[in-house]
Chains A and B, each alone.
Chain A
């Protein structure tokens, strides 16, 4: 039976200073940030496979977190790479046999640092990817202006800019083929969609993102995320 797979990236994308812990293992409303991100996929019908990308030295902690906070759902824990692209490729290699057997239809790739993504966003990228081959959620980038060399506001039209979010969803066979071709080329994309577009010619569609789908980046974001969780009764 065909199912969809959710990949959650917690292998430490972004800067980490010294021996500090990855922020996705911070508690938030009684659970770790990464657990909220996994929980998102658990709530979407059809997503029957979960893959979590982690750093090798976080494996023990991740095991404890999953045992305590996510006990009833199988999660494949895979060691990620040094870059987002490499982590995604490792996740796809982990799923490759099932993808080739036709057991996985759509693969969704999500940042673990986005714990509050509404289920509606996942359902929409999933439905769009099933129809078109690829979909990403995004918000219009407002209050943006160009500046010319003299420091004056540019007259150019900036209404076409968007702020891309996750999860991003793609047909599994095309995603795997794109990453295999990229590996053969030595190409490392900065985002999933660009790799699929470049190597598979998939026209990736944009669906409406959500302002609540914040990525925990700044210290302030933690307070905002906790407030939003409290407002929802600590439920998704």
Chain B
């Protein structure tokens, strides 16, 4: 999953529906930013980091099972997507770390 998504959401600050940038750290929601008024809602970084570490532990523990399910159900697409996923992993981790250090 990408860590930044652009979607239309309502904004309590400026009212109406506007484009929002929704940012994630791994599987965790980190912040939303309204493109119309700049209103930002964000988790506090220390709390986000603690939750992220717990989530990464969970991701690591469940990864073999998730990979196995993908191999069983979609062996071809799994094999085809694996090299790309491995190549992209460092960039994804770096993007997650940027969110966790408040640089995004």
Instruction: Name the distance in Å between A215's Cβ and chain B's nearest Cβ.
Output: 10
Q: Is the CB of B97 closer than 8 A to any CB of chain A?
A: no
Q: Is the CB of A67 closer than 8 A to any CB of chain B?
A: yes
Contact B73 A218 (CB under 8 A): no
CA distance A26 to B6 in the complex (A): 9
CB contacts (< 8 Å) of B12 on chain A: these are 218-220
Mask, B41-80, CB within 8 Å of A = 1, is 1010000000000000000000000000110011001000
Contact B9 A223 (CB under 8 A): no
Residue of A nearest to B51 (CB): A230
Q: Is the CB of A59 closer than 8 A to any CB of chain B?
A: no
CB contacts (< 8 Å) of A219 on chain B: these are 9-12, 20, 22, 32, 34, 39, 41
> Interface size of A by Cβ–Cβ distance < 8 Å?
29
Instruction: Name the distance in Å between B78's Cβ and chain A's nearest Cβ.
Output: 10
CA distance A17 to B12 in the complex (A): 17
Q: Is the CB of B27 closer than 8 A to any CB of chain A?
A: yes
Contact B8 A17 (CB under 8 A): yes
Among B1, B7, B34, the most chain A Cβ lie within 10 Å of the Cβ of B7
CA distance A40 to B68 in the complex (A): 24
CB contacts (< 8 Å) of A220 on chain B: these are 12, 41
Q: Is the CB of A222 closer than 8 A to any CB of chain B?
A: yes
CB contacts (< 8 Å) of A27 on chain B: these are 1, 5, 24, 27, 29
CA distance A217 to B1 in the complex (A): 21
Contact B8 A223 (CB under 8 A): no
Cross-chain pairs A/B with CB under 8 angstroms, 18 sampled: A14-B17, A17-B17, A22-B7, A23-B7, A23-B9, A25-B5, A27-B27, A29-B27, A67-B77, A217-B9, A217-B10, A218-B12, A219-B10, A219-B11, A219-B22, A219-B39, A222-B9, A226-B29
What are the 8 A-B residue pairs with the smallest beta carbon separation, nearest first?
A219-B32, A218-B10, A30-B27, A15-B17, A23-B7, A71-B73, A219-B9, A16-B8
